[in-house]
Copies of this chain bind each other. A is one copy, B any other.
Amino acid sequence: MRIGILTGGGDCPGLNAVIRAVVLRAVRDHGWQVTGFRDGWRGVLENHHVDLVPSRVRGILARGGTILGSSRVNPDHLTSSIDTIRGVLDENGIDALIPVGGEGTLQAAHWLSSHDIPVVGVPKTIDNDIDCTDVTFGFDTAVEIATDAIDRLHTTAESHQRVMIVEVMGRHTGWIALHSGLAAGAHQVLTPETPFDIAEVCAGLQRRFEAGDNHAVLVAAEGAVPAPGTMEFDQGHVDQFGHRRFAGIARQLQLEISRRLGADRDVTTTVLGHLQRGGTPTAYDRVLASRLGGRAVEAVRDGKYGMMSALRGTEIELVPLADAVARLKTVPGDTCAELRALL
């Protein structure tokens, strides 16, 4: 028996823990072999891989990034290459494939599975927006890093009577923004799920100032947007290199809030960006990622393909990939209200 594994999409603390768990359990418990494909799906398409023996995964548990590399591959490219994929898997004697990745990677995994390729997915995203799992690994680390950063910014905001806007990750969902905002004692949190009214945001700031507080910390998910018609908003454009060029929500908020509060009020911006994606995972994410990887090997052992390992309560269970990719897990309204009430 030989398992193939690949890591796709954006960086995420815990990827190496998954790889290590898959290798240790496959080799040590079952005597199987493991092939690691390089740079996500690209390694499958280009037949670029490495043999993963236990000594190769020693010491990687605590390391950020992925020893296999990653890439973003156009899904259309994958679906049009199914014969190539089948050929590479056959050539390397791969009996089952474990793709570790976010929405795109899991969509591809689901599609391959529906074409009779034996696949078990492992969900990965710092954004926590994959459905059918309570939490994804990487999220806890991202929240911890953002919280630590906001903790630091608080003292400066207070000493210098500033409004500090912190932009955290979350293009479609406010999980990181709400959790780090609550954890770090932010005063307002803006999320993609609930378009904001800039007049209300500023009114909230004014109430703080009138109550004698001369500073404020505002956390905005990168995907937060103003309610239509409430504020000028530049949605960005795609440049000549295919990169999205976007002033960013934090910068646009800074200008608008400055304009509304007047020149006396110092408004500054910090964009955490890639800091939230790299480096050593928290203990929570190391344990979660290891368990998800271990469970995927058990799924292979039991021939449960087309499934994804997932956290449900305190247990790691298997859920159908089809269910997991059917929708994005946004923050439910109740949860959002519960967390905001604690700000």
Binding site for B on A (CB under 8 A): 10-11, 15, 21, 24-25, 29, 39, 59, 61-66, 69-71, 134-135, 140, 143-149, 151-161, 164, 179-180, 182-185, 240-243, 258, 263, 268-271, 273-275, 277-280, 282-284, 286-287, 290-291, 294, 312-314, 316, 335, 338-339, 341-342
Interface pair B156/A294, CB less than 8 Å apart: no
Question: Pick the contact of A65 from B15, B62, B156, B287 — CB < 8 Å?
Answer: B156
Among A15, A156, A313, find the residue whose CB has the most chain B CB atoms closer than 10 A.
Answer: A156
Interface pair A287/B179, CB less than 8 Å apart: yes
Please list 11 pairs of residues, one from A and one from B, whose beta carbons are closer than 8 Å in the complex, sorted by A's number: A11-B160, A69-B161, A143-B284, A148-B279, A152-B275, A152-B279, A240-B263, A241-B263, A282-B282, A294-B341, A294-B342
**For residue A269, which residue of chain B has the nearest CB?**
B273
**For residue A264, which residue of chain B has the nearest CB?**
B241
Q: For the complex formed, measure the closest distance between the CB of A296 and the CB atoms of chain B, giving whole angstroms.
A: 12
Interface pair B342/A291, CB less than 8 Å apart: yes
Interface pair B283/A179, CB less than 8 Å apart: yes
Interface pair B335/A156, CB less than 8 Å apart: no
Interface pair B11/A149, CB less than 8 Å apart: no
Q: For the complex formed, measure the closest distance between the CB of A313 and the CB atoms of chain B, giving whole angstroms.
A: 5
Question: Pick the contact of A153 from B180, B240, B275, B283 — CB < 8 Å?
Answer: B275
Interface pair B258/A291, CB less than 8 Å apart: no
Question: Pick the contact of A59 from B185, B240, B243, B335 — CB < 8 Å?
Answer: B185
Question: Pick the contact of A286 from B147, B280, B284 — CB < 8 Å?
Answer: B147
Q: For the complex formed, measure the closest distance between the CB of A3 and the CB atoms of chain B, giving whole angstroms.
A: 16
C-alpha gap A271/B316 in the complex (Å):
31
Q: Which residues of B contact A70 (CB under 8 A)?
A: 159-160
Q: For the complex formed, measure the closest distance between the CB of A66 and the CB atoms of chain B, giving whole angstroms.
A: 5
